[in-house]
Structures are given as structure tokens and as C-alpha cells.
Amino acid sequence: MKRTKLDCTNEALTSGSLWKMVRRAQVVTFIGAGGKTTCLNRLTREITQAGEPVIATTTTKVYPLTFPSLCKNAGEFPFLEIITPCFWYADSEKESGKWLGLPTEIVDQAIHKDSKLKVKGHFWLIEGDGARECQLKCWAAHEPQIPRLTESAVLVIDGRLWGKTLQENEIYRSELCPDLIGHIWSPKLAWEYILRSPVFKPEYREMSWVVLFNEWSGPKNGSRQDPFDGEVYALLKVGEEYLRQEQLPESLLAKHLRLASGDAKEGSLQWFDLW
């Protein structure tokens, strides 16, 4: 089994932009709760500022976003007819006004076709999970909706949860994880959550994973806390123990696993690679 590289020194930490955090992957999917849309918007801006073309979309549904270019099309993506950055969606939901996303198969087909075009391919950013503005997400059998051609998948967790007693209304699909309700969000509980998340599902093991604790809260005096002090160092130690005890088979271990923390809206992040 792969072993964690527990060395929480300054040399082991990396800081930078969201784009750097996802290894400048061509196809990125965000799941979880606590900032997926913020991440998608920020990463779109960073890639666009670097002069690269971006297509953003969803495989679930989102509230309307502000994008320079929109494509409402439930079929094939019209590559030659759009200006980037572009957000692609299938239709609008009448009651909520949300944009309805595309099936993962359609998105994969578009990404594959894009890679075969003679012109330079686009960067694809996908919101692959719904959380109804909750801070934590548990998954039904049909969730999340991650395209198979995703290179980097990001599990977003609200970083403001540390030390809080989890309430039912803070967890989307809380009925699927009742053991979380009423317990303090700690490194131990976080690892129990991560280990049963899509990060450790065999169908996603070929993807590089990032677990992002977004909007990390500082101490009560208002000064900013080093994201890798305190709870995250404890998280790494607990994680190493869990991975050793569980003896997870190779089939459940993702290609890469990175723990990250910071403020996605500002694009200010730090991370640590477990493997």
C-alpha cells in the first residue's frame, strides 16, 4: 500500500494559485460543498488570464453564472460557434431558474472530440455535484456526476467547519450520513468522511484528487491562521494512522492525493501531497 509522506515542514508545503493546485490539468471537476462554484469561477479567470480557452459546464444544475459567452445546447457542443470563456448548459429549470447540466456521457464525448480537433484544445471545468448551499455533502448512489475524462477532481469541504458541532441543516443528504450529525468536526471525523467519499471509490482511482478545505477560518482574535498549523497537521497524522490501519487495497487509492487549504475566491492556497 502507498504510504503518506508525513513531513509537515515548510519545504513540504507548496503555495500558489488554484490552477497550480490542480496541476494545470486540462479537465477539472469540482464536487462536494462549500465553494464549488467559487472555485469554478476563480479557475476560469486564472486560465483565461493566462491566454488559454475555457469551457465550463455542469453535470448537475447551477444557478445562472456570469460568463462572457453562453451556450444553451443539449446536444453536441458547437466548438466553431463560441467565444471563450463559455458556459455550456442544456436548458433552464422553470421553477428555480437553474441551468440544467449535461449527462456525463455527453460531456465526455465533447471533451474527446475537442482533443481530436486540429486547433488547440480547451480547458474544461465542470461542476459535478449539487449541495444546495450546504457546508458538507453526502452522496446518493447516482452521485457525484464526474466525467470519465476528468484529470483532476477536487473534493471541496467548507473549511469553517473545524471545531463546530455538525447540524443536520449543514449537511446535504444528511439522511445518508446520520452518524455525522451532532459530532464535532475534527481531524478524526474528517478522515472518516474522506475515506467514504468518492476520493476512495475505485471508479475514480485514475484521477488526481485534491481535498480542498475552502475558506479556512482564523483564530478568534481575527488574525489569519497558518492553514497547515493545528487541525491540518493533526489531519495528516490521523490520516497516516487511518491509512495504515485500514490497509486499503491499491484498487482504492487514487493516482495522487493532495490536501489543500485556503481561500479559493482569492486564489490563495497551500497544499501538501500525501502521495
Print pLDDT tens along the chain (275 aa): 454 555 555 556 788 999 999 999 999 999 999 999 999 999 999 999 999 999 999 999 999 999 999 999 998 898 888 899 999 999 999 989 999 999 999 999 999 999 988 677 899 999 999 998 899 999 999 999 999 999 999 999 998 998 899 999 999 999 999 999 999 998 889 999 999 999 999 999 999 999 999 986 544 333 444 445 556 667 777 777 777 776 777 777 888 999 888 899 998 898 888 88
Biggest CA-to-CA distance, the chain = 56
Q: What is the pLDDT of residue 6?
A: 53
Q: Which helix (H) or strand (E) holds 239?
A: helix 231-246
Instruction: Point out which residues pair with 32 in neighbouring strands.
Output: 156
Q: Are strands 136-137 and 86-89 parallel, antiparallel or unpaired?
A: unpaired
**Helix/strand/coil for 73:** coil
Domain architecture of the chain: domains with CATH:
10-273 (3.40.50)
Q: What is the DSSP letter of 205?
A: T
pLDDT at 224: 42
Element (H, E) at 87: strand 86-89
Q: Residue 80: what pLDDT?
A: 81
User: Taking the mean position of all CA atoms in its chain, how far away is CA 167?
Assistant: 22
Q: What is the 3-state secondary structure (H, E, C) of 144-166?
A: CCCCCCCCEEEEEEEHHHCCCEC
What pLDDT does residue 220 have?
Answer: 38
pTM for this predicted structure: 0.91
Residue type, 192: E
Distance from C-alpha of 267 to C-alpha of 49, rounded to nearest angstrom? 13
